[in-house]
Structure 1
Amino acid sequence: MGYRTLDVQEGEGRVTVRLDRPEQRNAIDLDMVRDLHAVCEDLERNPRVMILTGGTDGVFAAGADIRQLLERRTDDALAGINLRIFQRIRELPMPTVAAIDGHALGGGAELAYACDLRIATDRAVFGQPEAALGIIAGAGATWRLPRLVGESLAKEMLLTGRRLNAAEAHRFGLVTAVVPPEELPARANALVDRMLRNGPLALRLSKLAVDAPEGAHPALELVAQAVLFESEDKRERMTAFLDGRRR
């Protein structure tokens, strides 16, 4: 299908989604929100891993579209326009990887936080400038960022506008790797390749268990493991492992 603000490419076991509003520095507007919902609908029907990127031109996403934010009112805030699409991305069945080159600010950073894993180039920058605009980071940063980097650093970013460069983001665990821009697509795909060597149902249930609320444990793990113990994929993989050891 056609997208107005995204470039979507199919690959083996994966979909690469590139934010594509270069003149607006990939600012997230209503058209992009609609396009992202369409991608999610496809990935919910036919689960694959998603790589989400802005490309390697020095910008991931400069935030929500300020012109649209300026016109939004109480009902728009309560509708959670960006929050809901970011949460939908978080809840996709298969893992998601944000491949970040350049600035990921405001809503752009929150979009990256919604993904399961993040890798970045050495010129990546993360920040939450919302308070300087008289609003809060209302699309996930207030609870996702403390879990990713710790409460104190998250509060400093949210309350003072402190930005993290790529090295700091790696040191604090926000990203798992920092690479040169030209290596970003290959490294993102290599990470996905490693995931796809594993059992697809095991991937889905592992993600579900990690993201489940605390009260769901350990019952969720017991049920998930019970399902996997009966799967043909588990039998085939364990049999192949034992056959390999016998040789």
Structure 2
Amino acid sequence: MSGAGSTGLRVEERADRLVVTLDRPEKRNAIDTDLVAALHELCARLEREPKLLLLTGGAEGVFAGGADIAQLRERNRIDALAAINSAVFARIRALPMPTVAAVDGPALGGGAELSYACDLRICTARAFFGQPEVRLGIIAGAGATHRLPALIGETRAKELLYTGRRVDAAEALRIGLVNRVVDSPADLLGVAHELLDEIAKASPLAVRLTKLAVDAPAAAHPQLDLLGQAVLFEDPEKHRRMTEFLDRKNR
């Protein structure tokens, strides 16, 4: 099942995942209010029916060139307090099942922040990331100020946020911003699906509770880990998987 429309998203449904493509090529996939609304609808669906998510920018060699500057220029303090972009990115971050961003070409400003909201990032050799907001007179206000330090460390994040310098794929891999770099853009989605295939081999409930535990604040541990393990110890899937493991071992 797939769908497309004027919202700027194309959605392909598979048994265990959704493949979602940003689809505003004429605007370099800039994130506008219609796209934000479509992403909220996507999140609502995945909250009701948890699945893996693969998010990509399509075949045009652009992940997302940032927020729609024409719209951004007209926003005022009330719009800023409404958390237009940051709210939907936080919702993506909190989705029940893992998310993978497959990045080809530029991921800038809000586009980079959208990729940071995903659990994992894979990119092509021609991809690059950047937060140019200070050069436009604003801050990276949709997640980069806290997600980027968590991903690459405070000192590196401050440099990028203060200067707006772009990070190419090789540096992104070296500093831990991305998990893998793919040489050919034609291979990007295949590698991303391979990673999701590996995740899909695991118990869905165990993966979901692992994500919940990893994303929880430090104060929630170890109680959250113990509670999650207690749920899984009573799960029939755990018994089945361990029995199959022991059977294979004893052959």
Distance 1:55 1:182 in 2: 11
> Once the two structures are aligned, what percentage of the paired residues are identical?
62
Structure 1 gaps, min length 5: none
> In the alignment, which residue of structure 1 is the partner of 2:240?
236
Displacement of 1:2 in angstroms is 5.0
Q: How does 1:1-247 map to 2 (within 5 A)?
A: 3=5, 4-179=7-182, 180-247=184-251
Could you list the per-position Cα deviations for residues 67-106 of structure 1 after superposition, in whole angstroms to 9, with x for gaps in the alignment? 0001100110001000000000000000000000000000
Runs of 4+, deviation exceeding 3 Å: none
Distance 2:164 2:75 in 1: 22
Distance 2:212 2:12 in 1: 26
Give the total of aligned pairs. 247
Give the TM-score, by structure 2 length. Answer: 0.97
Distance 1:146 1:49 in 2: 25
* Mapped contact 1:56–1:184 kept (Cα < 8 A): no
Displacement of 1:9 in angstroms is 0.4
What amino acid maps onto 2:152 in structure 1?
V
Could you list the per-position Cα deviations for residues 194-228 of structure 1 after superposition, in whole angstroms to 9, with x for gaps in the alignment? 00000000000000000000100110000000000
Distance 1:141 1:103 in 2: 16
Displacement of 1:152 in angstroms is 1.1
Distance 2:128 2:61 in 1: 10
Distance 1:190 1:214 in 2: 31
Secondary structure of 2:12's match?
A: strand
What amino acid maps onto 1:123 in structure 2?
R
Distance 1:79 1:236 in 2: 47
Distance 1:109 1:197 in 2: 29
Moved more, 49-58 or 223-232: 49-58
* Mapped contact 1:120–1:177 kept (Cα < 8 A): yes
Distance 1:2 1:33 in 2: 15
Question: What RMSD, in angstroms, separates the aligned Cα atoms of the two structures?
Answer: 0.8
Could you list the per-position Cα deviations for residues 129-162 of structure 1 after superposition, in whole angstroms to 9, with x for gaps in the alignment? 0000000000000000011111111111110111
Give the TM-score, by structure 1 length. Answer: 0.99
Secondary structure of 1:60's match?
A: coil
Distance 2:14 2:180 in 1: 22
Distance 2:155 2:41 in 1: 36
